[in-house]
Every structure is written in C-alpha cells, then in structure tokens.
C-alpha cells in the first residue's frame, strides 16, 4: 500500500508544497521545532524505564 511513498520525486513534491504553504522563512523554524520535539520524545522514552524502577524501589522501602 505504501511501497512507493518515499520515492525521491514524491519527497520533492512534498517539499515543494510545504514551501508554498509555509514560505521559505518559516520552513527552517518548523524543521527545528520538529527536530526538538522528536529529540525530547526520545529522551522521555529513554528516561521512562529509569523512573519506573525508581518508583518501584521507593515503594518497597519501608517508610520511617
């Protein structure tokens, strides 16, 4: 179904449409924001197991 979705000509067409919609000045800001959000998402995923382990060890400790 999505076999030929990421062919070079399709990517050029998508980039051209994005350029028309957002303009050349706004496009780098959108790319930067998208990159930062993906980076933050990856960091949150990597930190999540550590947070779960800390919570489980804190619950096991008797409170004084």
Pinpoint the alpha helices (H) of the chain.
8-22, 27-60
25-59 confidence digits (pLDDT tens): 898 898 899 999 999 999 888 876 666 666 666 66
Look up residue 8 and give its two tokens: 């070079």
Angle at 28 (CA atoms; ends 22, 29), nearest 5 degrees: 80
Q: What is the largest CA-CA distance in the chain?
A: 66
> What is the structure's pLDDT at 1?
56
pTM flag (> 0.75): no
Residues 6+ away with beta carbon under 8 Å from 18: 27, 30
Identify the DSSP state of 62.
Answer: P
Q: Which residue has the higher pLDDT, 3 or 27?
A: 27
């Amino acid at each position: 179904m999505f076999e030929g979705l990421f062919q070079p000509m399709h990517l050029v067409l998508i980039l051209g449409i994005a350029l028309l919609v957002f303009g050349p000045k706004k496009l780098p800001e959108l790319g930067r924001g998208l990159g930062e959000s993906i980076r933050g998402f990856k960091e949150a995923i990597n930190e999540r197991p550590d947070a779960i382990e800390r919570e489980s060890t804190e619950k096991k400790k008797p409170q004084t």
